[in-house]
């Protein structure tokens, strides 16, 4: 027995050495964590349990039979984060560049299947040269098996991708299907075709960072949801995200002790909306004044900043916040904001997270480029996502709610449960200037004093529409509230809807305008 124990210990050491102690050392020296370091950092101490750690590839192509490593370049298993079970795979670049072959894929598939059966989130730490070239079609098959599972698990368990090195070629499509993608600044890269191919095909020179770095994907493409300043900071953000979301679609999000008074009145809110309706204000400050302890985990911070989305708590319960941002494009909705909002709303709805929408929207961003980019179908996604969401939906109109954008932003007409408006709310088909120019075009053009007439008509329009009294009289808003009482009223509304039960008509699936 003694010898057996000794033998197993030796085997374990060999397994833990992965692609070689020298390679692990040089990674650490270059400031990178190893696949195992990342797991250790992420999980509650002592909770990680490794699976299939002695798997090896079975390929003999191109000398691969002499390059066998226990684990085949990916560490898989489960453990606890914030005391809740989470499954993980972490690719090990020291083994054949973390490339994915048949057995490597089999390990990932195994852990994804377990996560789905167990109803627990799955995290994938990606650090890989992509399909293992020597294994050819078996590598491609492995990716296919993973994509298939990503899709089946979508909306059932949260799937989180953490890109900590290269993620290239078709390999990007597994993270692409998952709910959230994290990247590390200047360390992660994601692209379908790399700089060399682009140079050969398009004669275009582009750096790794410009093509697929965290700035590109968090600000331009919107592929990436969170960017960490370094690996540890990125993993901290993963943990923070997990603290807001449930383990599966069958659970409620985890509640936190509500140590911020439910009935906290916030006088600063009375001052936040400027008197001049054309002046912007900081919607993130508004959010932080309302939510528990001012804590807000912003998703997609750098992308489509005219719409702010993220997680917070109200009375200890997780909510998803969607807020127009008057600081950027005056808070108008465009293609990217619509995509960002729709995706976030669908995640929240899939995982039982109530929606709180803060509305200050002058309309859709006008422009030929927006039409050409398909604002019709993308704006429709936002409308669709709000309409199909059956979780509690609370809306607060702080200022402008004009035209189609009023309808889109979680109006009563799309099934919002409770809609509040501040006294500063303006709810109408369009803003005063535009409206007067349309309805009184002839009168103004034939008037002897066109400017005086225009001003008078604008004033009349404002008095009629630039306040929330008319929609309140029609029942489109439930109450006109003082800004200071927003937090207690939202919490009460949320509590009243705790057992909301609503189902969409039976269907195989809807046909969201993709
Ligand atoms: C097999 C690979 C590999 C791969 C890297 N390695 N990528 N082995 N298949 N795809 C090996 C290298 O041979 C090397 O082995 C070790 O990993 C480290 O690689 P380096 O090149 O030395 O590292 P680095 O300079 O940091 O460059 C990393 C890299 C580069 C940028 C990722 O390795 C690279 O460009 N790799 C190929 C990327 C690629 O084209 N992949 C296929 C994409 S297509 P040794 O033994 O020397 O240490 C794809 C299709 C998926 O993925 C389709 C799904 C539907």
Evaluate: CB of 165 within 6 angstroms of ligand 1: no
464: pLDDT strictly greater than 90: no
Nearest to 386 by CA among 443, 433, 333, 348: 348
Residue nearest atom 28 in ligand 1 by C-alpha distance: 129
Shared domain for 440 and 396, answered yes or no, is no
Dmax over Cα atoms in the chain, in whole Å?
107
Burial class (CB in 10 A: 0-12, 13-18, 19+), 266: middle
Minimum CA distance residue for ligand 1 atom 21: 97
Pair (306, 235) in one structural domain: no
Quick one: which atom of ligand 1 is closest to the CA of 194?
Answer: 40
Interacting residues of 151 by C-beta distance below 8 A, sequence separation 6+: 177
Number of the ligand 1 atom closest to the C-alpha atom of 98: 17
Ligand 1 atom at minimum distance from 131 CA: 52
Please say if 176 is a catalytic residue: no
Is residue 295 domain-shared with residue 222, that is, in the same domain? no
Asked if residue 79 and residue 57 are part of one domain, the reply reads yes
Q: Is 332 part of any domain?
A: yes
Closest atom, ligand 1, to C-alpha of 189: 31
If pLDDT is split at 50, 70 and 90, which confidence band does 248 have?
A: very high
Could you say which of 119, 136, 170, 415 is catalytic? 170
Mean pLDDT is lowest, of 51-55, 158-162, 420-424, 455-459, for 455-459
Catalytic member of 129, 169, 331, 363: 169
Cβ-contact 162, 138 below 8 angstroms? no
Predicted confidence at residue 432, as pLDDT, reads 85
Let me know if residue 253 belongs to a domain. Answer: no
Q: Is 169 annotated as catalytic?
A: yes
Based on the fold, state whether residues 55 and 176 are members of the same structural domain: yes
393 domain residue, yes or no: yes
Compute the distance from residue 100 Cα to the ligand 1 centre, in Å: 10
Shortest-distance atom of ligand 1 to CA 67: 46
Residue 249: its pLDDT value, please?
A: 98
Under 8 Å between Cβ of 374 and 415: no
Q: Is 461 in the pocket of ligand 1 (CB under 6 A)?
A: no
Q: What is the distance in A from the centroid of ligand 1 to the CA of 127? A: 10
Least confident of 62-71, 245-254, 395-404, 475-484: 62-71
Residues 359-373: tens digit of each pLDDT: 999 999 999 999 999
Residue bearing the CA closest to ligand 1, atom 24 = 97
C-beta 131 within 6 A of ligand 1:
yes
Verify whether ligand 1 is closer than 6 Å to residue 431 (CB atom): no
Nearest-CA residue for ligand 1 atom 45 is 96
What's the mean pLDDT in 374-391?
Answer: 98
251 in a domain, yes or no? no
The answer to whether residues 207 and 220 belong to one domain is yes
Write the pLDDT tens digit of every residue in 11-23.
999 888 888 999 9
Q: Is residue 292 part of a domain?
A: yes
Statement to judge: residues 459 and 344 lie in one domain: no
pLDDT score of 184? 98
Q: Does residue 466 carry a pLDDT above 90?
A: no
Query: Do both 349 and 271 map to the same domain?
Result: yes
Neighbours of 346 (CB within 10 A): 20
Identify the DSSP state of 90.
E
Nearest residue (CA) to ligand 1, atom 48: 96
Count of residues for the chain? 514
Which tens digit of pLDDT belongs to each residue from 394-432?
999 999 999 999 999 999 999 999 999 999 999 998 888
Whether residue 19 lies inside any domain: the answer is: yes
Residues 193 and 302 in one domain: no
Residues 40 and 145 grouped into a single domain = yes
pLDDT at 215 over 90: yes
Residue in 405, 421, 428, 435 annotated catalytic: 405
Ligand 1: residue whose CA is nearest its atom 26:
97
**Is residue 142 lining ligand 1, measured as CB closer than 6 Å?**
no
Mutating to test ligand 1, I would choose from 57, 99, 126, 129 the residue with most ligand atoms within 8 A of its C-beta, which is 129
Whether residue 99 is contained in a domain is answered as yes
296 DSSP β-pair partners: 312
* Beta strand spans in 27-73 (E): 49-51
DSSP string covering 169-190, please? GGGGHHHHHSSEEEEETTT-EE
Q: Which residues pair with 323 in a beta bridge?
A: 308, 358
pLDDT for 142 equals 97
- 249 domain-assigned: no
> At 123, which CATH number?
3.90.226.10
Residue 427 · residue 476 · CB < 8 Å: yes
Domain span holding position 441:
432-465
pLDDT tier for residue 242 given thresholds of 50, 70 and 90: very high
Q: Which of 68, 97, 145 to mutate to test the pocket of ligand 1 (most atoms within 8 A of CB)?
A: 97
Our answer on whether the CB atom of 168 is closer than 6 Å to any ligand 1 atom is yes
Would the pLDDT of 140 be above 90?
A: yes
Is 119 a known active-site residue? no
277 shares its domain with 405: yes
97-139 pLDDT, tens digit per residue, is: 999 999 999 999 999 999 999 999 999 999 999 999 999 999 9
Going from the Cα of 20 to the center of ligand 1, the distance in angstroms, rounded, reads 17
The reply to whether 63 and 99 lie within a common domain is: yes
Reduce the secondary structure of 116-132 to three states and give it as a string: HHHCCCEEEEECCCCEC
Determine the distance separating the centroid of ligand 1 and the alpha carbon of 129, expressed in angstroms.
4
Question: Does 171 contact ligand 1 (Cβ within 6 A)?
Answer: yes
- Report pLDDT for 129: 93
Total domain count, the chain: 3
- Residue whose Cα lies nearest atom 25 of ligand 1: it is 97
374 CB neighbour count, 10 Å cutoff: 14
CA of 132 to the centre of ligand 1 (A): 7
Tens digit of each residue's pLDDT (9 = 90 or more) over 184-204 = 999 999 999 989 989 999 999
Residue 462: band (very low, low, confident or very high) from pLDDT cuts 50, 70, 90: confident
Supply the mean pLDDT for the chain.
95
Percent of the chain scored above 90 by pLDDT? 88
In angstroms, what is the span from residue 168 Cα to ligand 1's centroid? 9
Check if 170 is active-site: yes
Q: Single out the catalytic residue among 222, 302, 404, 434.
A: 404
The Cα–Cα gap between 464 and 137 comes to: 68
Residue range 431-452, pLDDT digits in tens = 888 889 899 999 898 989 999 9
């Amino acid at each position: 027995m003694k010898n057996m124990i000794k033998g197993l210990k030796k085997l374990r050491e060999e397994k833990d050495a992965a692609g070689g102690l020298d390679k692990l050392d040089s990674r650490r020296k270059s400031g990178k964590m190893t696949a195992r370091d990342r797991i250790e950092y992420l999980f509650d101490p002592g909770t990680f349990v490794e699976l299939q750690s002695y798997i090896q590839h079975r390929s003999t192509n191109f000398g691969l039979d002499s390059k066998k490593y226990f684990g085949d370049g990916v560490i898989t298993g489960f453990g606890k984060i914030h005391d809740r079970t989470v499954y993980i795979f972490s690719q090990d670049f020291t083994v054949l560049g973390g490339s994915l072959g048949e057995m490597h894929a089999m390990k990932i598939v195994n852990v994804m299947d377990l996560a789905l059966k167990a109803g627990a989130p799955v995290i994938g730490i990606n650090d890989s040269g992509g399909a293992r070239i020597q294994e050819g079609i078996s590598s491609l098959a492995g990716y296919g098996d993973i994509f298939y599972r990503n899709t089946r698990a979508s909306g059932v368990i949260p799937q989180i991708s953490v890109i900590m090195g290269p993620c290239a070629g078709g390999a990007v499509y597994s993270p692409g299907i998952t709910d959230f993608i994290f990247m590390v600044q200047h360390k992660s890269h994601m692209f379908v075709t790399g700089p060399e191919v682009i140079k050969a095909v398009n004669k275009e020179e582009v750096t790794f960072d410009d093509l697929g770095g965290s700035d590109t994907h968090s600000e331009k493409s919107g592929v990436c949801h969170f960017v960490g300043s370094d690996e540890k900071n990125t993993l901290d953000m993963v943990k923070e995200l997990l603290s807001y979301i449930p383990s599966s679609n069958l659970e409620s999000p985890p509640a936190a002790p509500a140590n911020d008074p439910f009935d906290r009145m916030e006088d600063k809110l009375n001052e936040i909306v400027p008197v001049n309706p054309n002046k912007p204000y900081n919607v993130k400050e508004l959010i932080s004044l309302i939510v528990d302890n001012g804590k807000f985990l912003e998703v997609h911070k750098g992308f489509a900043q005219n719409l702010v989305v993220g997680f917070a708590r109200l009375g200890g319960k997780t909510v998803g916040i969607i807020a127009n941002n008057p600081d950027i494009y005056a808070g108008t909705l465009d293609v990217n904001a619509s995509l960002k909002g729709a995706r976030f709303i669908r995640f929240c709805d899939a995982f039982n997270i109530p929606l709180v929408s803060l509305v200050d929207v002058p309309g859709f961003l006008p422009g030929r480029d927006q039409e050409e980019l398909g604002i019709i179908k993308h704006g429709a996604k936002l409308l669709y996502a709000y309409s199909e969401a059956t979780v509690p939906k609370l809306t607060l109109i702080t200022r402008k709610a004009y035209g189609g954008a009023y309808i889109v932003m979680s109006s009563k007409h799309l099934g919002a449960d409770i809609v509040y408006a501040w006294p500063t709310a303006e709810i109408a088909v369009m803003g005063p200037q535009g409206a007067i120019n349309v309805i009184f075009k002839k009168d103004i053009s034939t008037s002897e004093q066109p400017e005086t007439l225009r001003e008078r008509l604008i004033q009349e329009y404002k008095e009629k529409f630039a306040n929330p009294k008319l929609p309140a009289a029609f029942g489109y808003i439930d109450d006109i509230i003082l800004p200071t009482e927003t937090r207690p009223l939202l919490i009460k509304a949320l509590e009243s809807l705790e057992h909301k039960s609503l189902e969409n008509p039976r269907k195989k699936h809807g046909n969201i305008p993709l």
